[in-house]
Chain A
Amino acid sequence: MNGFFRYFLKRLALGVLTVFVLATATFTALHLIPGDPLLSEKEQTPELRASLMKQYHLDQPPLVQYGYFLKDLSRGEFGISFTQPNRKVNDIIRDHFPVSATLGLLAISLAATGGILLGSFSALRRGQALDRATLFWVILGVSVPNFVIAACLQLAISEFNQKTGTEWLPVGGWGSFHHRILPAIVLALGTQAFLTRLMRSSLLEVVHQDYVRTARAKGLSPLRIFFVHQLKNAVLPVLTYLGPSIASVTTGGFVVESVFAIPGLGRYFVQAIQQLDYTVILGLTVFYGSFLVLMVLAVDLLYGLVDPRISLEGRTR
């Protein structure tokens, strides 16, 4: 396990470095621009302005500000919003991230299970009707933007709800589990299509591998050949894409959250950008960046556990 531990440390260090670079780059970029971050404040007396400057450390030289920023960051503090001076960025994350995370988690599990199952069936029935249908579905899934799917689904379901008078599948808002179904499906579709394609081509590749022929020559049962020798090896590349997939589901969340009127962090982020709320942008950027790095790290570690070649040889793919 020594090799695995070294691998883990290396990946962790690289992740921390990436977050640090991201934070510094964002900070530098935000402070390089001309303009007054407090400009958005409506009525400002000189006294109020001075106190605000002091509160946000804007009266200090940039390097000192950077020091404050890093100090806060090391304690996990992201500062106070510029547009809502009595709200901390941490509170915003605490209030809205769970919504985005629930939605994202549901979507990614839908996408992964759907992708692996559909991809496997399609590869096993290669060239048959099911395979053709899957291929068409996949190409459609990666080609139709999710806001289009969201809008069409919303229209269809609301028509259906009107016709039948049911409210089982609400087309907007947040609350019960029923509210999560449609957005999660929309969020999952693109990634699911991508993972299906990956799983299919991966399994097709594995089917032609020499060790599968060996397994057949050994006289193993077809079930054991499929599950132990084919599926396990075919799932590995799909696993590596789960990290980036989480990224695409998270960013895809911006659109889905706005179309379905869900009070998630993504919508808040877009709002902060439109209002140029610097601390919120900075805080959420670092937060999202760390989250993505963490997810990619987790998936890589999982991969290292499943595939002995990675961790034991101590080198990355």
Chain B
Amino acid sequence: MSTTSNTPAPSEFERLPWPRPPEARRERPSRSAWQDAWLRLKRDAWAVGSASFLGALAVFTLAGPLLWPIDPAAPSLARLSELPSLGRQVRVVAKDTPETAARAATETVSRDTPETAPPAPAPGETLAAPPPAHLRLLGAPNVLGVRLVWQALPGAASYTVYRAPGPALLHAQALGVPLAEVPASPQPHYQDSFELGPGPWLYSVVAQNSDGDESPPSQPLKVDLEPGMALGDALSENAEARLGELISLKAHPMGTDSFGRDLLARLIQGARISLSIGLLAPLLALFIGLGVGGAAGLFGGKVDLWVMRVTDVFLALPFLLVAILLQVTLGLPPLTALVALSWVGPARLVRGQILQLREQEFVQASRLLGAGPVHLLLQHLLPNTLGVLLVAVTFAIPQAIFTEAFLSFIGLGVEPPAASWGTLCNDGIRTFLTSPHEFLFPALFISGTVLSFNLLGDALRDALDPKLRGRS
């Protein structure tokens, strides 16, 4: 290699003093293992995302009842299984009883129709097509009732009233649902109040003669209904409600359940229960495991041998059976099985760690220098076990939440007045096909929380694993 071209000036070859002052050196910054793990954790987008989600969840759970002071147990018969909505407005309308409807109908009939009665139906007579504008509304329609009246058709023995949701008839020639069969009378009429809701509806009538032949359907009558609510129900929502006025309803951002209870309030209550189980059970298990595993690891010998045999048996016990046995025999909530069985994992973990650490030089050195067992435990063994335990707990939390949901789902979870996410799922799945939100929201909360804890645990394990340090 040529050295002549770029030879530096002779002055550059002056020897520097030795030892050199610290500022003249090129040192790299040193980081502790925890600092390093923290840096790597912060760089992991999944970990940051999960931690943010869990932070938001903590606010939701703790501050939720203050921010959303709705009684999670208050039912509302007027608002069963409602889809999510924010403060919508409805008109307070009068509720029609069949009697008032019939009276109104006859009064109208006597005013509007000719005196002549239709001829009696003759057998075999063919039915004419209904004239246009055959079907009329009687009075003002609302969501509690739509009154229909139509002219009697000659030869008709009965009429069938059909209803279709507004847009349906635009692309299909279907008549919709047959609502009722109305017998022939001088002035046939019908009041519909079958599961009406706001929106456009299309009514049509088909006449039948005594042979069962059908006439062509009448020209459909379109009825647009605005949201409405009976006075009695409206008063429970808003004390100021008056007939005919618009009132604002309480908001249900996540809808209501099949008892009309606010789902958001129930989810907040459920979060408190699910999360406290999810946090308490693993922590309790961890402390038991720490004690048992620590004792086995520290004392060794016979203690260790027996502890390990006991954990072997515990590992073989199927979780669900223990949960059931605890309930059936001791009357304990099945969830206690979570603690009863899950201490085994931490115990074995702690024992293994301590056995490993005990043999390491820095612990041996400390012991030779006269450190007592308490000092050894607090100064050397625990801090070095902490990382592994932290990761174990992060994975135990979603497992506990998962298990709680599973137990609640098969009816072995928290007792009815309280509600966890699992019991909400269990309640919601019965009406899953008609109002899926009752199931989907708690399911989303469970999945999201478990997902976040899992992601965070993964990231934490990677960050704390010295083997992975610096690897991509």
In the complex, chain B residues 398-416 whose Cβ is within 8 Å of any chain A Cβ:
398, 402, 405-406, 409-412
In the complex, chain A residues 125-177 whose Cβ is within 8 Å of any chain B Cβ:
127, 139-140, 142-145, 147-148, 151, 155
| A22 near B317: Cβ-Cβ < 8 Å | yes
In the bound complex, CA of A30 to CA of B3 (Å): 92
Q: Kindly identify which residue among B320, B330, B446 contacts A251, using a CB–CB cutoff of 8 Å.
A: B320
Q: Kindly identify which residue among B320, B330, B446, B450 contacts A254, using a CB–CB cutoff of 8 Å.
A: B320
| B409 near A145: Cβ-Cβ < 8 Å | yes
State how many residues of chain A have any CB contact under 8 Å with chain B: 40
Shortest distance from the beta carbon of A140 to any chain B beta carbon, whole Å: 7
B450 cross-chain contacts in A, Cβ below 8 A: 142-145
In the bound complex, CA of A140 to CA of B405 (Å): 16
Shortest distance from the beta carbon of A183 to any chain B beta carbon, whole Å: 15
- A292 at the A/B interface (Cβ < 8 Å)? yes
| A145 near B455: Cβ-Cβ < 8 Å | no
Shortest distance from the beta carbon of A73 to any chain B beta carbon, whole Å: 16
A90 cross-chain contacts in B, Cβ below 8 A: none
Q: Most chain-A CB neighbours within 10 Å: which of B406, B436, B458?
A: B406
- B203 at the A/B interface (Cβ < 8 Å)? no
| A251 near B318: Cβ-Cβ < 8 Å | yes
| A140 near B451: Cβ-Cβ < 8 Å | yes
| A155 near B432: Cβ-Cβ < 8 Å | yes
B451 cross-chain contacts in A, Cβ below 8 A: 139-140, 143-144
Shortest distance from the beta carbon of B428 to any chain A beta carbon, whole Å: 9
A250 cross-chain contacts in B, Cβ below 8 A: 318
- B382 at the A/B interface (Cβ < 8 Å)? no
| B433 near A147: Cβ-Cβ < 8 Å | no
In the bound complex, CA of A25 to CA of B321 (Å): 11
- A39 at the A/B interface (Cβ < 8 Å)? no
- A255 at the A/B interface (Cβ < 8 Å)? yes
| B455 near A285: Cβ-Cβ < 8 Å | no
| A29 near B330: Cβ-Cβ < 8 Å | yes
Q: Kindly identify which residue among B318, B324, B328, B443 contacts A145, using a CB–CB cutoff of 8 Å.
A: B443
Given A18-B313, A270-B410, A276-B328, also A147-B320 (CB < 8 A):
no
Shortest distance from the beta carbon of B281 to any chain A beta carbon, whole Å: 17
| A292 near B318: Cβ-Cβ < 8 Å | yes
In the bound complex, CA of A289 to CA of B312 (Å): 14
| A139 near B455: Cβ-Cβ < 8 Å | yes
In the bound complex, CA of A289 to CA of B458 (Å): 32
Given A139-B451, A147-B429, A254-B320, also A273-B406 (CB < 8 A):
no
Q: Kindly identify which residue among B328, B406, B429 contacts A30, using a CB–CB cutoff of 8 Å.
A: B328
Residue of B nearest to A284 (CB): B321
Shortest distance from the beta carbon of B404 to any chain A beta carbon, whole Å: 10
Q: Kindly identify which residue among B313, B321, B429, B433 contacts A21, using a CB–CB cutoff of 8 Å.
A: B313
- A97 at the A/B interface (Cβ < 8 Å)? no
B433 cross-chain contacts in A, Cβ below 8 A: 155
In the bound complex, CA of A285 to CA of B429 (Å): 28
B331 cross-chain contacts in A, Cβ below 8 A: 33
| A33 near B329: Cβ-Cβ < 8 Å | yes
Shortest distance from the beta carbon of A283 to any chain B beta carbon, whole Å: 12
In the bound complex, CA of A14 to CA of B226 (Å): 72
Chain A 86-113: CB-based contact to B (< 8 A → 1; otherwise 0):
0000000000000000000000000000
In the complex, chain A residues 1-42 whose Cβ is within 8 Å of any chain B Cβ:
14, 17-18, 21-22, 25-26, 29-30, 32-33
Given A147-B429, A148-B447, also A26-B325 (CB < 8 A):
yes
Shortest distance from the beta carbon of A97 to any chain B beta carbon, whole Å: 15
- A258 at the A/B interface (Cβ < 8 Å)? yes
Q: Kindly identify which residue among A14, A139, A145, A254 contacts B458, using a CB–CB cutoff of 8 Å.
A: A139
Shortest distance from the beta carbon of B345 to any chain A beta carbon, whole Å: 12
| A14 near B312: Cβ-Cβ < 8 Å | yes
| A148 near B317: Cβ-Cβ < 8 Å | no
Chain B 433-472: CB-based contact to A (< 8 A → 1; otherwise 0):
1001001000100110011001100100000000000001
| B429 near A151: Cβ-Cβ < 8 Å | yes
- A288 at the A/B interface (Cβ < 8 Å)? yes
Shortest distance from the beta carbon of B63 to any chain A beta carbon, whole Å: 25
Shortest distance from the beta carbon of B240 to any chain A beta carbon, whole Å: 41
Chain A 241-261: CB-based contact to B (< 8 A → 1; otherwise 0):
000000100110011001100
B429 cross-chain contacts in A, Cβ below 8 A: 147, 151, 259
Residue of B nearest to A17 (CB): B313
- A296 at the A/B interface (Cβ < 8 Å)? yes
- A274 at the A/B interface (Cβ < 8 Å)? yes
In the bound complex, CA of A288 to CA of B320 (Å): 10
In the bound complex, CA of A32 to CA of B429 (Å): 37
In the bound complex, CA of A14 to CA of B321 (Å): 20
| A296 near B316: Cβ-Cβ < 8 Å | yes
Given A254-B410, A255-B406, A273-B328, also A145-B313 (CB < 8 A):
no
In the bound complex, CA of A254 to CA of B321 (Å): 12
| A288 near B321: Cβ-Cβ < 8 Å | yes
B330 cross-chain contacts in A, Cβ below 8 A: 29, 33
In the bound complex, CA of A142 to CA of B402 (Å): 9
In the bound complex, CA of A33 to CA of B331 (Å): 9
In the bound complex, CA of A30 to CA of B325 (Å): 8
Residue of B nearest to A258 (CB): B410
A270 cross-chain contacts in B, Cβ below 8 A: 410-411
15 contacts between A and B (CB under 8 A): A18-B313, A22-B316, A22-B321, A29-B328, A127-B472, A142-B454, A143-B398, A143-B454, A144-B450, A147-B425, A147-B429, A270-B411, A289-B316, A289-B317, A296-B316
Given contacts A22-B316, A151-B429, 7 further A-B contacts (CB under 8 A): A29-B329, A29-B330, A145-B402, A148-B446, A285-B321, A289-B316, A292-B316
| Closest 10 pairs (CB-CB, A-B) | A29-B329, A143-B451, A143-B450, A148-B443, A18-B316, A144-B447, A251-B320, A33-B329, A285-B321, A147-B409
